[in-house]
Chain A
Amino acid sequence: MSQLLQHLINGLASGTIYALVALGYTMVYGVLKLINFAHGDVMMVGVYMGYASAFALGREAQRSLWGVVVIFAVAMGGCALLGFLIERFAYRPLREKPRLTALITAIGISFALSYGFQLDVSFDGPFDFSIAGRRGGSFDFHFDRLVLLPGASPRAFPEIIAPTEWFILGDRDVVLWNWQVISLLIAVSLMVALQFLVYRTRFGKAMRAVSWDHRTAALMGIPTDRIISLTFMLSSALAAGAGLLYAIKDTSVTPLMGLYVGLKAFVAAVIGGIGNVPGAVVGALLLGLVEEFVVGYAASTWRDAVAFGFLILVLLVKPGGLFGRVAAEKV
């Protein structure tokens, strides 16, 4: 019984990460009908940005509340910029081309990021700079090395949320950690915020219009390009947030981490009905639980087979995904 409960906690924790990444897939697909395969790698870049800013802050500051906020802000802001650039320079020129062209470009960007980050490019310092504070003080930074590209070897993400056990059952039969709860809360609140954005704001209305038919939307005076750019920035920022939660959970940071999570999140988005926001979350949580139980009670070798089998099963019964039927709900 306690084992079941622990598996449930583990499964929800990984499902939460899948959910946040899946949201990005689903949003971009919603407006552009493009499967952005570079999404997982944007997440990876976000994790490295978070890693770098945690390093710049130092051991003490990275654990404080403002430090965590800064790390998330840098990673999410940086990825929003990256998402903007990718859309502007890789996808926009191909918008009127066949959809396959953009898809292959997305795969190309994914590989450029994940393999580019395996290069080891750095400069030996020392580098010193300081930022003047408002009240006369200043923040001084000193670096011995400036790393442009991090290289292939794995790094350990610092424990920016000091791990604390919030709930222990029996003789540590079931353990629930603070970051598991925090991740779930962040994921749920992001989902609620997204739902609000799409259905309750002018921007959301414009997004839905672009999703419906972007040429007609342009005729109605909606700035399509700007809406699409903003959608990419939003989804990339979400990916960065998801990536940081993932790195907090699983510690290891590598340039290839995005490929795997991206693929799983894509499956989750399709299970839920791609283009559908609650669908992506439900699909992701289901996928996380299914994987956990397969590995926990059967064998890890079955994990991916069962995950993809589950996808096929869902698509057989409901070809549009679990929530994908109602076209009007598309983002």
Chain B
Amino acid sequence: MRRLAPMLLAALAVLAVACEKKTQPTGEGNSQPAAQLPATAQGGPVPAGNDVIVLGEVGALTGGQATFGISSRNGIALALKEANAAGGVKGKKLVVRVYDDQSKPEEAAQAVTRLITQDKVVLILGEVASSSSLAMAEKAQAAGVPMITPSSTNPTVTEKGDYIFRVCFIDPFQGFVMAKFARENLKLNKVAVLQDNKSAYSIGLTEVFRQKFAELGGKITVTESYSQGDTDYRAQLTAIKKTQPEGIYVPGYYSEVGVIARQARELGLKVPLMGGDGWDSEKLFELGGSAIDGSYFSNHYSPDNPDPRVQKFIADYKADNNGAVPDALAALAYDAARVAIDALKRAPDTSGPALRDAIAQTKDFPGVAGVITLDAKRNAVKSAVVLKVADGKTSYVTTIAP
């Protein structure tokens, strides 16, 4: 047997050969050109001394969520470059120490410990994935070093303590946004809901959507559910079709939503589908094909937003990153870094408590992904954008304020 096992493995490997013509987008969002990255620290040794302020950053530069971490790093780098060009903070230059967590929460927690004990950073930026941010928040809170997550939307992240902040909205807010959009912009009266029973994200969005939509005078005809990983939704969609809704709210992830769209059209349901930022992936267009056209979803930011502030950011980002269009994660990371820099300017010194108080007072801060005001729970209260899907891409429709 010992002799045969490698042979079997080799045979399976040969069988698995598959060919494809296009390069496959990895992960989610707009993929960035991935430069060769060393596995751990970025940027070499940071000059210590009195003339610099050191910030820490933890991100997934390798692993399954690498596109997230790379976008975030690019966004933060741009914000720091601009701040330093404008003279830095309190006469000092800003530098950032970046650690790769390989998309793993335990690595993220270790990186935070290293940033605090070795690099003596004054503030930490990161992560994208809520699970990693949760692990980091634990350490940062214990050490009394403020942490700002650009894009972790799970409500529990900032509940870890008073040193943990975020510059994005939390999950349930998107339910509110879509309810308002469906009722006031699309003027829908009857909407059905199809939620993912296995995902707290989907359930959270559904709850708020139902409540708000009813409050605004709309009617929820039926709430059906599926489980992540299902591929046949015809039974639910047939039941939904009977209630003759004018739209279907599907706050799931792109991997299921694309297939749901196809099967809805197949059963003769032509009404628009609506969802949240879980839709935001190139894969949505591949899986959904033309069936997903005419649908809407809420997101943090859109590169099509005509706001000059947004357009200037996009132009600067493109210039620094070989013409890559910044995705939502880059925009949020840029905002997070700028909120941090703003707080550093306002704080009397760079101690933990002083910085914490300064960040907490952030109000009406003009970010590229919406105007940021931090509430008592250290979450950003800000507007969301609604995007429309058509012909394999998204286009900006409107901005919905809280």
Contact = CB atoms under 8 A, between A and B. Distances in A.
Contact of A156 (B18, B235, B258, B266): B258
Interface string B63-82: 01000000000000000000
Contact of A148 (B16, B197, B258): B16
Interface in A7-65: 7, 10-11, 13-14, 45, 48-49, 51-52, 55-56
A78 B226 CA distance: 33
A296 B233 CA distance: 10
Contacts of A213: none
B162 interface: no
B231 A300 contact: no
A252 B23 contact: no
**Which of B7, B12, B266 has the largest count of A CB atoms less than 10 A from its CB?**
B12
Given A6-B267, A175-B268, A251-B259, A300 B19 contact: no
Residue among B26, B230, B268 having the largest count of chain A Cβ atoms under 10 Å: B268
Contacts of B234: 10, 13, 292
Interface in B270-284: 283
A147 B287 contact: no
A144 to B, nearest CB: 6
B31 to A, nearest CB: 12
Interface stretch (A109-117, A200-208, A216-224, A274-282): A109-117
A51 B258 contact: no
Contact of A55 (B20, B23, B283): B20
A157 to B, nearest CB: 10
B15 interface: yes
A85 B11 contact: yes
Nearest to A14: B232
Interface stretch (B204-212, B236-244, B337-345): B236-244
A7 B242 CA distance: 12
A52 B225 contact: no
Contacts of B1: 93
A155 interface: yes
B229 A155 contact: no
B352 interface: no
Nearest to B269: A172
Interface in B1-56: 1, 4-5, 7-8, 11-13, 15-24, 26-27
Interface in A81-117: 81-82, 85-86, 89-90, 93, 112-113, 116-117
A143 interface: yes
A147 B255 contact: no
A120 to B, nearest CB: 8
Nearest to B286: A156
A256 interface: yes
A291 B259 CA distance: 19
A296 B236 contact: yes
Nearest to A90: B8
Interface string A146-189: 11111111111000000100000001110101000000000000
A301 interface: yes
Contact of A175 (B11, B24, B266): B266
A116 B289 contact: no
Contact of B21 (A89, A142, A257, A299): A142
B229 to A, nearest CB: 7
B232 A52 contact: no
Contacts of A11: 235
Among A127, A147, A152, the one with the most B-chain Cβ atoms within 10 Å of its Cβ is A147
B15 A300 contact: no
Contacts of B15: 45, 49, 78, 81-82, 85
Contact of A3 (B22, B64, B197, B239): B239
A305 to B, nearest CB: 12
Among B13, B18, B19, B287, residue most surrounded by chain A Cβ atoms (within 10 Å): B18
B4 A93 contact: yes
A325 interface: no
Give the one of A144, A250, A295 with max B CB within 10 A.
A295
B283 A296 contact: no
Nearest to B22: A144
A252 B21 contact: no
A256 B236 CA distance: 22
B258 A147 contact: no
Contacts of A7: 235, 238
A156 B242 contact: no
A258 to B, nearest CB: 12
B227 interface: yes
A63 to B, nearest CB: 14
B231 A112 contact: no
Contact of B20 (A3, A145, A163, A295): A145
Contacts of A171: 268
Contacts of A93: 1, 4
B221 to A, nearest CB: 14
B20 A156 contact: no
B235 A291 contact: yes
Identify which of B11, B13, B225, B289 gathers the most chain A CB atoms within 10 Å of its CB.
B11
Contacts of B27: 153
B286 A256 contact: no
Contacts of B227: 300-301
B224 interface: yes
Contacts of A10: 232, 234-235, 238
B262 interface: yes
Given A52-B20, A172-B268, A250-B232, A155 B286 contact: yes
A275 to B, nearest CB: 27
A143 to B, nearest CB: 5
Contact of A292 (B11, B26, B235, B262): B235
21 contacts: A6-B267, A10-B238, A14-B232, A113-B12, A116-B16, A122-B24, A141-B19, A143-B19, A145-B23, A148-B16, A153-B24, A155-B286, A251-B231, A251-B258, A252-B231, A252-B259, A256-B229, A293-B235, A295-B239, A300-B230, A301-B227
Given A45-B15, A85-B8, A249-B232, 17 more contacts: A10-B232, A93-B4, A142-B21, A145-B21, A147-B17, A148-B17, A153-B255, A154-B287, A155-B286, A175-B267, A250-B231, A251-B287, A254-B255, A256-B229, A292-B234, A295-B236, A300-B224
- Nearest 7 A-B pairs (CB), nearest first? A172-B268, A52-B18, A295-B235, A250-B231, A10-B234, A296-B235, A89-B8
